[in-house]
Chain A
Amino acid sequence: MRVDAIQNGIVIDHITAGRGMQLYDLLGLKDLDCPVALMMNAVSGKMGRKDIIKIDADIQVDLDVIGYVDPGATVNFIRNGSLVEKRNIEMPKMLTNVIRCKNPRCITSVEQELDHVFRLTDAPNKIYRCIYCETKAK
């Protein structure tokens, strides 16, 4: 399989195999009208298998979302067909409106306009908790 090299855009590489789809959803890529390729189970020297996302447009992606889903991913910024920046991603300390609190007793369950904000409370175990009710993100 071959996906055309992109001219201006973003390549999210080294995504843990199987997480590409979740990332695609959470980044809202289905709403874009530019070409987007999601490649799953690509062969990788380092990782065995990996997922890759290529976005063929100069858009902003929420790096926090990538850091939340897969802190091991790398983000490559492409301009005029060449790599201009390669960024390693870290787990974000705060996540705003990426995931939703599912606790029915949480204030966010009744007040629609509140941001859903999660804080990283335990980095080694990758645990995020709602800033309002402390419910763990699943």
Chain B
Amino acid sequence: MRSINDIRDLTVDEINELVRLACDIIEHPAAYSEKCHGKKLATLFFEPSTHTRLSFEAAMYELGGNVLGFSEAQSSSAAKGESVADTARTVGCYADIIAMRHPKEGAPYVASQHAGVPVINAGDGGHNHPTQTLADLLTIYREKGGFENLTVGLCGDLKFGRTVHSLINALARYKNVKFVLISPEELKVPSYVKKDVIQKNNLPYVQTTDLEAAIPELDILYMTRVQRERFFNEEDYLRLKDSYILDPKKLVNAKEDLCIMHPLPRVNEISVAIDQDPRACYFKQVLNGKYMRMALMLKLLELA
């Protein structure tokens, strides 16, 4: 039984196939509207994440299937002390596929060892969130026509931002990708990502603290939120959270076809003034996320 815990669980060929399938769903939605008829998705959200849960649920409904689950640990058997393994084994008796979000790293992997049905990691603490990366990849594909020959700027919290690490991991497998890593000193990409992924694949990269100066050469600008809970003290958070706000002024020298992305929710790191700019792609990312979750569930259920 195949599960997806990490974006690296998928080969380049498999990602390309998921992208192809998602594009086909977008073009022929009616052809897929009953594909999951009679199937049930369980969304086991041990911590709330409205965006991700709604995306999974909408994806399953659009495939003609049904959804059950819970949206926070307090309303689940975990509140009574049940182990992840037992929850997975139990839910595997009801559902055909599971999407699990959990505050502890590795919990969805544990679930995948016991569920007997495919388990999709819908975010495990600061660790993995592969369907976010799939949404990012589909967005890049649809906006840029592929994954090669791109200069990708990543901005904000590059230290704790798992979506950033995961996207770097995914893009590092393609040709001629250059990374521009834009962050305050305190939130630089960890050395294991730099060494084990970027340098290992001999990819060019630059590290900078200056967002505005970096923008002109970028094909993609991936903004991230600087999260309060990642900081040990409030002062550091307040000092840094506003350092990297994207506004129309900073975009003056940007490319005409720049693609601005963000995993959402945003706080204020992208000014709402940019929402009307055709280069803003973050709400397209949300839509693409639903299509990629549809494609992924179809593949894991062996229905496409």
Task: Choose one: A105, A107, A130, A133; the contact of B84 (CB below 8 Å).
Answer: A107
Confirm or deny: A114 has a beta carbon within 8 angstroms of a beta carbon on chain B.
Answer: yes
* Alpha-carbon distance A3/B81, docked complex (angstroms): 52
Q: CA–CA, A122 to B105, complex, Å? A: 21
Q: Is the CB of A133 within 8 A of B106?
A: yes
Binary contact track A112-138/B, C-beta < 8 Å → 1, others 0: 011000000010000000111110100
Provide the residues of chain B in CB contact with A111, threshold 8 Å: 83-85, 110
- CB contacts under 8 Å to B, within A61-119, are 103, 105-111, 113-114
The dominant DSSP class at the B interface is mixed
Complex CA–CA separation, A54 to B267 (angstroms): 63
Q: Name the residue in B104, B106, B107, B196 with the highest tally of chain A Cβ atoms < 10 Å from its Cβ.
A: B106
Q: List chain B residues, Cβ under 8 A from A136.
A: 192
How many chain B residues have a CB neighbour from A under 8 Å?
17
Contact of A114 among B110, B126, B192 (CB under 8 A): B110
CA distance A109 to B107 in the complex (A): 11
Within 8 A of A (CB), among B56-92: 83-85
Collect the chain A residues with CB atoms within 8 Å of residue B102's CB.
107
Q: Does B127 contact A (CB under 8 A)?
A: yes
Q: Does B109 contact A (CB under 8 A)?
A: yes
Say whether B125 faces chain A, with CB atoms less than 8 Å apart: yes
Q: Given A113-B83, A132-B105, A133-B105: A107 and B110 within 8 A (CB)?
A: yes
Is B83 a contact of A106 with CB atoms below 8 Å? no
**Contact present for B105 and A105 (CB under 8 Å):** yes
Q: How far is the CA of A106 from the CA of B106 in the complex (A)?
A: 6
**Known contacts A106-B104, A113-B83, A136-B192, then 9 further A-B pairs from the complex at CB < 8 Å, ordered by chain A residue:** A105-B104, A105-B105, A105-B127, A106-B105, A106-B106, A131-B106, A131-B109, A132-B110, A133-B106
**B residues with CB within 8 A of A:** 83-85, 102-107, 109-110, 124-127, 192, 196
Q: Which 8 A-B pairs have the closest CB atoms?
A: A132-B106, A133-B105, A107-B104, A107-B106, A107-B107, A133-B106, A105-B125, A105-B105
The 19 listed contacts between A and B (C-beta, < 8 Å) are A103-B105, A105-B104, A105-B125, A105-B127, A106-B104, A107-B109, A107-B110, A107-B124, A111-B85, A113-B83, A114-B85, A122-B196, A130-B106, A131-B109, A132-B109, A132-B110, A133-B105, A133-B106, A133-B125
